[in-house]
Structure 1
Amino acid sequence: MTESTPDRTRVSSWRLLLGNPVTVVSAVLLLVVAIVALAAEWLVPYGINDVDVPNALQGPSGAHWFGTDELGRDVLSRVLVAVQASMQVAVASVAFAVIVGVSIGVVAGYRGGWTDAIVMRVVDVMFAFPVLLLALAIVAILGPGVTTTMLAIGVVYTPIFARVARASTLSVRVEPYVAVSRAMGTGHGYILARHVLPNIAGPLIVQTSLSLAFAILSEAALSFLGLGIQPPEPSLGRMIFDSQGFVTLAWWMAVFPGAAIFLIVVAFNLFGDGLRDVLDPKQRTMAEARRQQ
């Protein structure tokens, strides 16, 4: 018995994905980040707000791997909890953007006509604003906080998913199998769920990975400006802001939070590139050709 085509494609996709060492390393790093995000409370060696002034500004050591800050708080513990908070904000905000943006984009692309024109003009107006500037405006109006940060980042990334979903839907809706389903009298909801969404999932998955990276950066930027996660809850951006007056005395206060942001963002971007090589037909063909050389 021969292996079916979908099974062969699935196996080939996994081989292609696992055959890229950069993608594998980024996936392992993201797995570690996910574990930290889920279990930070059990991993921290000290309380995140345990003040120990006599041991303030101590360098990395066996007792404090990442050193201590200006109040003697353990930097490692605060970085772990800050990574958890950043991931929670990123996942929640991108999930909001995916749900709202994909819904808008699919409806606009599938319906076409005046619906597409009106919806996409609104999306274009939102897309015209710089991401961080629009997020700052939303937070300034609603007030700083975790919930507001999630909402602000989710709103600014919604147009991106709307445009990706619309572009993919426009190409799928003219496929023969969609025309046949319409001719048979199949409902629009069934066509969208059975034919459209599965066939536009690839670009959306890649965009989700990339948007998570930029959501981490956006959250860090808002917290750095004092408009994101509020003290005493630690955040990576706020930790970097607090370290400005101690750069020459305690480099570790800025380096370790900055390194955490850098590693998470790079991992999401590299993993997204690896997914694109598998899910994009053109990129997949090029990757398979390189692998056979």
Structure 2
Amino acid sequence: MTTDTTTTAPPDPAPSAPRSPRALAWQRRRRSVARFWRQYRTHRTGVVGLAALVLFALVALTAPLTIGSDVQSVTEAPGRPMEGPSGQFWFGTDQYGRDLLRLVLWGSRVSLTVGLLAAVLSVAIGALVGITAGHFRGWYATVIMRVTDWFLVMPTLVLAIALATVMSRSLSTIILAIGVTTWPTTARLVRAQTLAVESRPYIERARALGGGHAHIMSRHVLPNVMPLVLAQTTLGISNAILSEATLAFLGLGDPTITSWGGLLQDAREAGAVSSGHWWYLVPPGLAIAAVALAFTLCGRAVESVLNPKLGVAR
């Protein structure tokens, strides 16, 4: 008697359901982000700048919990006025006896917030002007670019001072003054990139298929200029922080808010330069320089990754 030793082959697995366009889009985005991070890590200066920014961001976010808002109180100052660095006060005290180390850490919240929001506002205005001027061209592009050239040749600091003078002294005024005076450079760069993108064949095909102005600008032009916009944002934050410090140093900031520029203004009013109280000037100045340098390093690294032709040194 023989037995049948043949085995039945397992059934073929059911074909997987096709992924939706949204899932495929998210998969491409994740791959792009992973590829960007792999290339970004090769830039040592960019990694150092990013680490410094993460540290500053953690300090700013945790300041209300670790430092407390009472650091700005003049009546509850823990030390004597203009006391030098010591074991109790590492950075010394200000003219009211407040701990300068805690004031510098608290001021990071305002300076970083102003720098980020002002840079975002500036880049948003510049991107909108640049994309529309590169897309529509004609008389509109001529008029808008002449306005851009006027803003470009005017001293940015003078325009910001004029706006901050005629408006109320507040944090929103500083953000607005910086944002609406620093956009022309971004506008010209984005317009040049828009002209290059719109000369490509797939833009003509999109128009032939009935794509309108809004569709072409949002679906085709904007994704191609976003790397440039991102790089401009990182580079613009450092300039915005320096501009905020300058305006606050000139007495145009909000006196009720502690920022790095405001600390420099207080030191100038207290005569720290003439009296030799260097500890009143050095900490906020070094903080401004460190953050500006960190954003610049990150911006250069991002620009090099997104545009390898620049050949930025690592």
Scaled by the length of structure 2, the TM-score of the pair is 0.83
Match of 1:260 in 2: 287
Q: What displacement does 1:150 show?
A: 0.8
Larger mean CA deviation between 38-47 and 140-149 belongs to 38-47
Give the deviation of 1:92 after TM superposition.
1.6
1:40 equivalent to 2:63? Answer yes
Structure 1 residues 181 and 35: CA distance shift in structure 2, 3 A: same
2:65 maps to a residue whose letter is W
Contact 1:58 1:72 in 2 (8 A): yes
Please list, as runs of the form range in 1=range in 2, the aligned pairs for 1:80-229 lying within 5 A after superposition.
80-228=105-253
Task: Judge conservation of contact 2:83–2:92 (CA < 8 Å) in 1.
Answer: yes
Query: Secondary structure at the residue paired with 1:200?
Result: helix
Query: Is the 1:37–1:88 Cα contact (8 Å) retained in structure 2?
Result: no
How far apart are 1:120 and its partner, in Å?
Answer: 0.8
Q: Percent identity?
A: 39
Amino acid paired to 1:92 = L
User: Secondary structure in 2 aligned to 1:138?
Assistant: helix
Residue equivalent to 2:41: 18
Query: What is the match of residue 276 of structure 1?
Result: 303
Structure 1 residues 7 and 240, CA gap change in structure 2 (3 angstroms)? closer
Q: 1:179 to 1:270 in 2, by over 3 A?
A: same
Q: Which of 272, 295, 309 is the aligned partner of 1:246?
A: 272
Q: Aligned residue for 2:54? A: 31
Deviation at 1:214, TM superposition (A): 0.4
CA contact (8 A) 1:48 1:74 kept: no
Any unmatched runs of 5+ in structure 2? Answer: 1-26
Unaligned runs of 5+ in 1: none
Q: 1:231 aligns to what?
A: 255
TM-score with structure 1 setting the length: 0.89
Q: Residues 7 and 212 from structure 1, CA distance in 2 versus in 1: closer, same or farther, beyond 3 angstroms?
A: closer
Query: Does the CA-based 8 Å contact 1:57-1:249 persist in structure 2?
Result: no
Give the superposition deviation at 1:5.
9.6
Aligned length: 283
Tell me how far 1:7 sits from its aligned partner: 7.8
The structure that is helix-richer by fraction is 1
In the aligned structure 1, how far is the partner of 2:32 from the partner of 2:102? 44
Larger Rg: 2
Q: For 1:5 and 1:142, how far apart are their aligned partners in 2?
A: 46
Q: Which amino acid aligns with 1:177?
A: Y
Is 1:49 the counterpart of 2:73? The answer is: yes
CA RMSD of aligned residues (A): 2.3
Give 1:59-70 correspondences, 5 Å limit. 59-70=84-95
Amino acid at match of 2:37: W
